[in-house]
């Protein structure tokens, strides 16, 4: 049982309720106070914390204690299991199309790490799934974004489709998909425009690209360091465009990653990958049980 990583506070609460055969309401209440602190410290959305504590409390009260555990450990185990369940679910990281090319749209706010993640994802799909991706520069508002993607493509030796900044993103996406078909490139990853704030024009443009050919995946890239804000961003993008999964970036930083739990609970959309650094191989599939331990601190 991996309890070593837990904070001192949780460890000491575990110690408090030793030697009982059944867990009563008072034990659970005390422990849940600490769990609540841990989650809030990890920047989990308050509504999510409340909901979570309620579910776990109901499950924990009256449980017989497993022989191998103390009652405190058992409550923590329930907390960890429930966190893992909530963040888990679907196993496949990418849904590939039966009729290539698979189309993946990358959406997100500026600075979240969208363009970098586009490159990282192409790299991962090539390495792990033997795919031949095409990167598409559809952020025409920031000339630097097109250049950035081209540089990434060069570093990775992965082709980049671009039409400069004078052609509409929808047209670029349309031509890119046709190009991929001709060249037998089986995954098209579209780097769409990011904005500093969520606005109507951005959402409309994403909807237009989406309407062109139903993408197999729409991945929202969010900065895990933005904590509470990440939930609002995820909700807005999901409501307006519809997302199929989330990539949480910058988890190599010191954030506890509460955003993973909040986003999953609020949008019901799975976290698919996590960004663990600036390097192009620093993208990993999401592991809910690891994130659960990290969130508990």
Instruction: Determine, following the binding rule CB under 6 A, whether residue 113 of this chain makes contact with ligand GDP.
Output: yes
195 is in an annotated binding site: yes
Q: Which member of 227, 275, 288, 297 binds ligand GDP (CB under 6 A)?
A: 275
CB-based contact 118:189 (threshold 8 Å): yes
* Structure token pair of residue 54: 């309620």
174 is in an annotated binding site: no
CA distance 29 to 48: 17
251 is in an annotated binding site: yes
CB-based contact 35:81 (threshold 8 Å): no
How many residues in the shown chain lie near ligand GDP by CB under 6 A? Answer: 17
Nearer to ligand GDP, 78 or 260 (CB): 260
Alpha helices by DSSP H, the chain: 8-16, 25-41, 46-60, 71-87, 114-129, 143-156, 169-183, 200-212, 228-240, 258-267, 288-296
CA distance 136 to 187: 11
Q: Which member of 30, 229, 252, 284 binds ligand GDP (CB under 6 A)?
A: 252
In sequence order, what are the residues at sequence separation of 6 or more whose Cβ sits closer than 8 angstroms to the Cβ of residue 171? 163
* Structure token pair of residue 78: 């329930």
193 is in an annotated binding site: yes
Write down the least CB distance from residue 203 to ligand GDP, Å: 16
Instruction: Determine, following the binding rule CB under 6 A, whether residue 115 of this chain makes contact with ligand GDP.
Output: yes
CA distance 68 to 58: 22
Q: Can you say whether residue 277 is alpha, beta or left, with left for phi > 0 and alpha for psi between -120 and 50 degrees?
A: left
Write down the least CB distance from residue 116 to ligand GDP, Å: 3
Instruction: Determine, following the binding rule CB under 6 A, whether residue 114 of this chain makes contact with ligand GDP.
Output: yes
Nearer to ligand GDP, 100 or 277 (CB): 277
Nearer to ligand GDP, 115 or 244 (CB): 115
Range 72-111, binding ligand GDP (CB under 6 A): 108, 110-111
Half-sphere exposure of 194 (CA within 13 A, CB side): 24
Q: Which stretch binds ligand GDP (CB under 6 A): 34-42, 123-131, 172-180, 275-283?
A: 275-283
Instruction: Measure the N-to-C terminal CA separation of the chain; round to a whole number of Å.
Output: 15
Q: Residue of minimal CB distance from ligand GDP?
A: 275
Nearer to ligand GDP, 108 or 245 (CB): 108
CA distance 295 to 281: 24
Instruction: Determine, following the binding rule CB under 6 A, whether residue 278 of this chain makes contact with ligand GDP.
Output: yes
Maximum C-alpha span of the chain: 71
Write down the least CB distance from residue 90 to ligand GDP, Å: 22
* Structure token pair of residue 173: 């996406």
* Structure token pair of residue 44: 């989990």
Q: Which stretch binds ligand GDP (CB under 6 A): 70-78, 90-98, 113-121, 166-174?
A: 113-121
Instruction: Determine, following the binding rule CB under 6 A, whether residue 112 of this chain makes contact with ligand GDP.
Output: yes
CB-based contact 103:188 (threshold 8 Å): yes
The contact pattern for ligand GDP, residues 146-185, with x = CB under 6 A and - = no contact, is: ----------------------------------------
Q: Where do contacts with ligand GDP occur on this chain (CB under 6 A)?
A: 108, 110-116, 194, 249-250, 252, 275-278, 282
Q: Which residues are annotated as a binding site for GTP?
A: 108-115, 191-195, 249-252
């Amino acid at each position: 049982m991996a309890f070593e990583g837990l904070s001192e506070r949780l460890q000491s609460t575990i110690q408090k309720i030793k030697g009982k055969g059944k867990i009563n309401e008072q034990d659970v209440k005390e422990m849940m106070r600490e769990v609540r602190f841990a989650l809030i410290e990890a920047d989990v959305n308050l509504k999510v914390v409340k909901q979570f504590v309620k579910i776990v409390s109901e499950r924990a009260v009256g449980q017989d204690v497993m022989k191998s555990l103390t009652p405190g450990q058992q409550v923590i185990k329930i907390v960890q299991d429930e966190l893992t369940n909530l963040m888990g679910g679907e196993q496949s990281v990418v849904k590939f199309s039966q009729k290539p090319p698979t189309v993946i749209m990358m959406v997100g706010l500026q600075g979240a790490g969208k363009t970098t993640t586009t490159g990282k994802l192409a790299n991962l799909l090539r390495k792990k799934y033997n795919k031949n991706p095409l990167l598409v520069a559809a952020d025409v508002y920031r000339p630097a974004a097109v250049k950035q993607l081209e540089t990434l493509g060069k570093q990775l030796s992965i082709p980049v489709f671009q039409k400069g900044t004078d052609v509409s993103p929808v047209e670029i996406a349309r031509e890119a998909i046709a190009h991929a078909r001709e060249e037998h490139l089986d995954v098209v990853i579209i780097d769409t425009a990011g904005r500093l704030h969520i606005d109507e024009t951005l959402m409309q443009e994403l909807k237009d690209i989406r309407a062109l050919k139903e993408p197999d995946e729409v991945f929202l890239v969010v900065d895990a360091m933005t904590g509470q804000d990440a939930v609002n961003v995820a909700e807005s993008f999901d409501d307006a465009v519809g997302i199929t999964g989330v990539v949480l970036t910058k988890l190599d930083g010191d954030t506890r990653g509460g955003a993973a739990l909040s986003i999953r609970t609020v949008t019901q959309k799975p976290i698919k990958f996590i960004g663990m650094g600036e390097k192009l191989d620093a993208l990993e599939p999401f592991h809910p049980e690891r994130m659960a331990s990290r969130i508990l601190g």
